[in-house]
């Protein structure tokens, strides 16, 4: 059952609220993207220490809430008025107020990206349960995109959460049969798992990580097995184009591995928005 039905789609003030909400959430996603891999690394170190029977290294509390936001160079706490999404970055002219260290443009870019995505979703759906499910999905995808781009890592906590949310959404909304979502999850995992082992047996090298299998399985749960070919082809195409450009611009770094997760996310989003029309157009072209 939907709620807040008095806030319909394609209403300008609802869309503006969605934009502002997205800017605030984007600021939080910057924290997730920056801290979550460090939290995982410290957890792995503690687990390895326990297995080896040694005392784990002690650290100051470090999670999504602690320590408070601060400049990585001078360690000065960031005041609330210097932490307003996008606006503070512009007012400070992309520099720390205390030491003048340059602040990366990626922070406001992620905030703005999240705000635009939230605005588009709210414009099309209004404020309903379905809206917030898709906003949650957007947060997961943005976080995984940049974490994988930075660390070549797709956290299980996020891929599994996306997978189970997709299956639950199929059961709740009925936008497709639950059977299609389950088959999509199974087929998505096995598709890249097969490619991984085929490549490894032929070359002795690993072409991708297990996180990619889980991410494609999650997309299969969200849009069914029918659109998995569109996801894979779109991901491969975007990966080929960007990969060639990357190698051209970084000739001295040829052979450096490139994360596949961001391309897989691009392919999955393309499949969600335009997959059915692309698949129908292709089948009509083949049937001529």
138 and 217 part of one domain: no
Q: How many CB atoms lie within 10 A of CB 237?
A: 14
CA 226 to chain centre: 22
- pLDDT at residue number 69: 85
124 and 238 part of one domain: no
84 and 191 part of one domain: no
53 and 100 part of one domain: yes
Tally of residues, the chain: 288
252 and 184 part of one domain: yes
- pLDDT at residue number 1: 41
139 and 19 part of one domain: yes
How many angstroms separate the CA atoms of 113 and 261, rounded? 18
**How does pLDDT run across 190-201, given as a tens digit for each residue?**
999 999 999 888
147 and 257 part of one domain: no
92 and 183 part of one domain: no
Q: Which residues are CB-neighbours of 158 under 8 A, at least 6 positions away?
A: 140, 143, 144, 147
How many angstroms separate the CA atoms of 41 and 45, rounded? 6
| Tokens describing residue 204 | 């002795």
**How does pLDDT run across 31-84, given as a tens digit for each residue?**
999 999 999 988 888 888 888 888 777 777 888 888 888 887 888 888 888 889
**How does pLDDT run across 134-168, given as a tens digit for each residue?**
999 999 999 999 999 999 999 999 999 999 999 99
In a domain, 170, yes or no: no
| Tokens describing residue 188 | 């998505």
117 and 201 part of one domain: no
Q: Which residue has the tokens 């032929």?
A: 202
Burial group, residue 238, by CB count within 10 angstroms (0-12, 13-18, 19+): middle
In a domain, 233, yes or no: yes
Three-state DSSP class for 66? coil
- Give the highest mean pLDDT range of 25-34, 246-255, 278-287: 25-34
207 and 270 part of one domain: yes
In a domain, 56, yes or no: yes
Question: Can you give the residue range of the structural domain that contains 219?
Answer: 176-288
Q: What is the mean pLDDT of the chain?
A: 88
6 and 148 part of one domain: yes
In a domain, 207, yes or no: yes
**Domains in the chain, number:** 2
Tell me if the pTM is above 0.85: yes
End-to-end Cα, the chain, rounded Å:
43
- Please spell the DSSP secondary structure of 163-226, one letter per residue: HHHHHHHHHHH-SS-HHHHHHHHHHHHHHHHHHHHHHHHHHSS--S-HHHHHHHHHHHHHH-GG
133 and 207 part of one domain: no
The answer to whether the beta carbons of residues 182 and 169 sit under 8 Å apart is no
**How does pLDDT run across 81-102, given as a tens digit for each residue?**
888 999 999 998 889 888 888 9
């Amino acid at each position: 059952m939907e709620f807040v039905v008095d806030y319909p789609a394609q209403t300008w003030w609802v869309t503006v609220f969605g934009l502002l909400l997205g800017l605030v959430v984007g600021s939080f996603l910057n924290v997730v993207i920056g801290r979550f891999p460090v939290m995982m690394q410290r957890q792995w170190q503690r687990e390895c220490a326990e297995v080896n029977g040694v005392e784990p290294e002690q650290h100051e509390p470090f999670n999504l809430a602690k320590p408070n936001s601060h400049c990585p160079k001078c360690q000065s706490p960031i005041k609330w008025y210097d932490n307003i999404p996008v606006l503070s970055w512009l007012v400070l002219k992309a520099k720390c107020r205390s030491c003048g260290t340059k602040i990366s443009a990626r922070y406001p870019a992620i905030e703005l990206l999240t705000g635009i995505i939230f605005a588009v979703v709210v414009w099309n759906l209004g404020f309903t349960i379905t809206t917030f499910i898709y906003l949650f999905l957007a947060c997961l995808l943005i976080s995984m995109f940049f974490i994988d781009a930075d660390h070549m890592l797709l956290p299980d906590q996020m891929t599994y959460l996306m997978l189970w949310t997709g299956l639950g959404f199929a059961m709740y909304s009925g936008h497709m049969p639950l059977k299609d979502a389950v088959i999509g999850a199974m087929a998505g995992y096995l598709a890249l798992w097969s490619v991984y082992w085929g490549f490894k047996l032929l070359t002795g090298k690993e072409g991708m990580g297990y996180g990619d299998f889980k991410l494609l399985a999650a997309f299969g749960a969200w849009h069914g097995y029918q659109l998995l070919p569109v996801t894979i082809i779109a991901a491969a195409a975007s990966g080929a184009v960007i990969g060639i450009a990357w190698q051209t611009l970084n000739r001295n770094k040829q052979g450096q591995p490139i994360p596949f997760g961001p391309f897989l996310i691009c392919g999955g989003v393309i499949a969600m928005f335009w997959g059915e029309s692309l698949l129908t157009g292709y089948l009509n072209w083949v049937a001529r």
